[in-house]
Amino acid sequence: FLFITTGEENLLAILKRRWWKYMILGIIDIEANYLVVKAYQYTTLTSVQLLDCFVIPVVILLSWFFLLVRYKAVHFIGIVVCILGMGCMAGADVLVGRQQGAGENKLIGDLLVLGGATLYGISNVCEEYIVRNLSRVEFLGMIGLFGSFFSGIQLAIMEHKELLKVPWDWQIGLLYVGFSACMFGLYSFMPVVIKKTSATAVNLSLLTADLYSLFCGLFLFHYKFSGLYLLSFFTILVGLMLYSSTSTYVAQDPRVYKQFRNPSGPVVDLPTTGQLEPSVTYTSLGQETEEEPHVRVA
């Protein structure tokens, strides 16, 4: 309520300044979800799992060029290990015959996954920028407002016939409620985690989600179990530990940073002798702080 009615950063003020940016971000986010879910109609579960990993290089590239995040060798090693763990999980799916969802056209399904993963990457990087520089309350409010509006329009135009075919009963209704609750939790907690870590770390962590779905499927759908699933899970965990073992840093000239933070103050001439370290460092799994990050000059 306070977000809507009080202060300079109320709902109307934010809409007046940045409405078109949040409108584009809301469309990107709902289309990312739509494309990946739609892909299950055309391609296999294994293909969705593997191709959905495309979000990781998208996030890395966008973070490098737009958030100026710089990675070290250990980060790339951790990322490769995580993807190898994901490949191991997909191999286990093939061995135990979890190939449901062959669908009508595998190529269309694969392209839908790649498109959805690309849009997910864009959405996640934008989310990291907003929660670090503006407010996660603002992000959740705006993405909820525009996302609900445009997803409702898309549902009415593209899926209204399919919605009428659903044989509604209390069980299906309960499944929809459960899915909505899970998505509510995901969107509520993800900005917190992204602010404490990064969009790259979050997407690497989400690779373990397929194993949790397997555990549920063991009871609900009587999936076959393979030891490769546990191997893939621990491989992904090792990759996450490697990635989180050292900090990334933001490439930024300290002189530009000081002028930006103190636009009305005098410009300080920094010594030109020696090599400047153009970075503001932060730790991937460090404590959340509102203090100004320290600028280190070599």
Over residues 155-189, the pLDDT tens digits come to: 899 888 888 888 888 988 998 899 899 989 999 99
The percent of residues above 70 in pLDDT, for the chain, comes to 78
pLDDT band per the 50, 70, 90 thresholds, residue 1: very low
The percent of residues above 90 in pLDDT, for the chain, comes to 35
Dihedral sign for Cα 253, 256, 70, 57, please.
Answer: negative
For 55-95, how does the pLDDT look when each residue is reduced to its tens digit (9 = 90+)? 999 999 999 999 989 999 999 999 999 999 888 887 777 77
pLDDT band per the 50, 70, 90 thresholds, residue 30: very high
For 126-165, how does the pLDDT look when each residue is reduced to its tens digit (9 = 90+)? 999 999 998 889 999 999 999 999 999 998 998 888 888 8
Whole-model pTM? 0.77
Show Cβ contacts of residue 55 under 8 Å, excluding neighbours closer than 6 positions. 117, 118, 120, 121, 124, 203
How high is the mean pLDDT of the chain?
79
- Which letter does DSSP use for residue 284 in this model? T
- Amino acid present at 136: R
Choose among 31, 259, 245, 40: nearest CA to 147.
31
| Range of 93-102, 262-271, 284-293 with top mean pLDDT | 93-102
| Range of 6-15, 83-92, 207-216 with top mean pLDDT | 83-92
Element (H, E) at 38: helix 11-39
For residues 41-63, give the mean pLDDT. 86
The pLDDT, as a whole number, for residue 13 is 84
Element (H, E) at 181: helix 170-196
HSE-CB for 101 with a 13 A CA cutoff: 21
With a cut of 60, say whether residue 281 has pLDDT above it. no
pLDDT band per the 50, 70, 90 thresholds, residue 110: confident
